[in-house]
Amino acid sequence: MTTVRVSAARNEEERQLVQAAIGRLRDNHAERSTGARTVVALAVESGVPRQRLYEHHSDLLNEFKAAVGCGPVAPSIEAVQRQLAHARDHNQQLAAENTQLQAKIRTLAAVITELTHDAAGTTVVVPMPRGLSD
């Protein structure tokens, strides 16, 4: 057998071991590990070194992380997620309001300059305040 075939056969065998281990960990039926839903436990459960998992089976690692991450979410986590979503919405509203207020300030600064010019009856140059000219 050539080196390529041996390597391909080894990868396929490891893939089967990893997939079986993912199933056992997902179903809480660990045979070799503590049953923790971690990459370390997956490596122990499958018998495939963790470094090989990262180097040769990253797609299976992603599958594993998705499978174990889909469990029930604790109420405290849900509450924090809701707060974060609310804070993001509020932040967007504030950013939009800030943009509108900056535009109004630019307009009012131009009106003040014009009124100052009209009241003085001469050419008056009033510099725009810094940070408002963009």
pLDDT tens per residue across span 99-134: 999 999 999 999 998 888 777 776 556 666 676 555
Taking only the tens place, the pLDDT of each residue in 16-60 is 999 999 999 888 899 998 888 888 999 999 999 999 998 888 888
Residues 46 and 22: their CA atoms lie apart, in Å, by 8
Residues 110 and 128: their CA atoms lie apart, in Å, by 8
Task: Please provide the DSSP assignment of 1-52 as one string.
Answer: --HHHHHHHHHHHHHHHHHHHHHHHHTT--SSS---SSHHHHHHHHT--HHH
Give yes or no for a contact between 46 and 18, defined as CB atoms under 8 angstroms apart. yes
Q: How far apart are the first and last CA of the chain?
A: 70
Task: Please provide the DSSP assignment of 52-90 as one string.
Answer: HHHHH-HHHHHHHHHHHHTSPPPHHHHHHHHHHHHHHHH
Taking only the tens place, the pLDDT of each residue in 64-102 is 887 787 555 567 767 787 888 888 889 999 999 999 999
